[in-house]
Amino acid sequence: MLRVEHLQKKFSFTVPRFTLKDIQFHLPKGYIMGLVGSNGCGKSTLIRTILGLYQMDAGKVYFDGKKMEVAEEEIKESLGVVLDQGLFEKRWSAKKNASVYGPLFRKYNEETFERYLKEFGVNPDIALKKLSKGNEIRFQLAFALSHDAKLFVFDEPAAGLDKEFRKELLEIMRNLVIDGKRSVLVATHIMEDLEQSADYITYMDKGQVLLSDDIEHIKDSFILVQAEEYKINLLPQQYVLYRKKGTYGTTALVAKDAEYALDGAYQKHRPTIEDLMYYYTKSERVDKMAWMRNYCGHHVQERGV
C-alpha cells in the first residue's frame, strides 16, 4: 500500500539542523502501522514529507506501486489525512471547508460527509477554531471518509485528549482496516494505544528509522529479564541493551539470542513497545542503534512482506 524508499530531507535553516536520513519502510494493505519515537525524532516531519507538504531531497514514495512524483493527483485521491493541527481553514465551518475542498476529490460524497459528521456528533455550522480538539479531529476523519480514502494518515491525533476519545479513535482505526482494503499510518507517542491496535511499528530515532517490522516480531526479538544484579552481570554483555536497578532486583532488556543463558533464576517477560523505547532511550551503548537493528531482525521489506 505505502512504500517509502531511501527518503532524505534536510532542514538546513532549523536550529539545530535536522535531517531525515535514508527512511525506508513498507505498510501493506489492510494493516495499521504505528510511527513511534521520542519527541523531535522526526515523525511529523516524515509524515509531512510523505504527504508532499515538504519537498523531499531524495528517495521515493510509492502508493499502490505508483510513484508519488508521477501520480500525485491520483494518489491524493486515496489519501485521508488527520493531523494534530489540521490544515483546513479554521475560520470556516466544517460544512464550508468540505464544500470548498470536497469537490476537488472525484469520489467526494457530501451526503456521506454529513452522515459521518452527524454520527460523530460534530456541529457542521461552527467555525473550526471554535470546535474542541476532539471534534476537529472527528471532522477531519469525516472528511477523509467521505472521499473514500484508502490510506489514512494520522499525526498525533490523540495528543492531549482524554482516554475515552482515544478509545473511540482506536475503534475507528480498527474498523477502517477491517475489510483489508484500507491501511492506517499513525504517528503517536501514546504507546498504550498502539499496543492495542497496531500491526506494524516503525520506530524512529534522530531522523532515522531504527526498526520497521510487525509488532509481534519486534516483541519476540527481545526479552525483559528480571533477576538479582549479579545474575544480570553474568549474562553475555553483548546481548544486554540496558539494565535498570530496582528495589527487588535488576531488570534488563536483552536480545532473544541470550535466551540460552537464562536459567530458572531469571524471570522472563515479553517487553511492550513502551519498554523497548524506554530501555533504548536510557541505554548508553554507543552502538545501540546497530544493536537494536541487529537483534530485532530486519526491516520489513528485507523480510519480503
Partner 1 sequence: MGTWLQDFRMFRKNLFTEHVKDAYGFLFFLIWFPTYFIGLFRNSNPDTVWDWSDMVLISVLIMFLLVTIMKHQLPQQVHLCPVSRTNRENYAKHVFWFRYIGAGILPIGSVLFMGLSGQIHPLETIVAIVTVAALDYVVNYTVYLRYLSVDISFLGVLHMIYVMVMMLEVFLITDLGSENHVNFVIPMIFEALIVATNIWGVIHFYRKYYRISVVAMAGYERAQLENTNRERSIKGRNSR
284 phi/psi in degrees, rounded to 5: -105, 10
Nearest CB to partner 1, comparing residues 18 and 242: 18
Q: Is 103 in the site for partner 1 (CB under 8 A)?
A: yes
Nearest CB to partner 1, comparing residues 70 and 178: 70
Q: Is 115 in the site for partner 1 (CB under 8 A)?
A: no
Contacts of 247 (CB under 8 A, 6+ apart): none
Closest contact distance (angstroms) between CB of 96 and partner 1 is 9
Q: Is 53 in the site for partner 1 (CB under 8 A)?
A: yes
Nearest CB to partner 1, comparing residues 147 and 288: 147
Place of cell 455550522: 125
CA distance 219 to 289: 16
Q: Is 104 in the site for partner 1 (CB under 8 A)?
A: yes
Q: Helix, strand, or coil here: 75?
A: helix
Closest contact distance (angstroms) between CB of 147 and partner 1 is 9
Q: Is 129 in the site for partner 1 (CB under 8 A)?
A: no
Pairing label, strands 151-155, 183-187: parallel
CA distances from residue 100 to 60, 77, 104, 161, 194 in whole angstroms, order as listed: 30, 15, 8, 28, 34
Q: Is 70 in the site for partner 1 (CB under 8 A)?
A: yes
CA distance 230 to 243: 12
Q: Is 88 in the site for partner 1 (CB under 8 A)?
A: yes
Nearest CB to partner 1, comparing residues 58 and 178: 58
Contact residues toward partner 1 (CB under 8 A) are 11-14, 48, 51-55, 67, 69-77, 79, 81, 86-89, 97, 99-101, 103-106
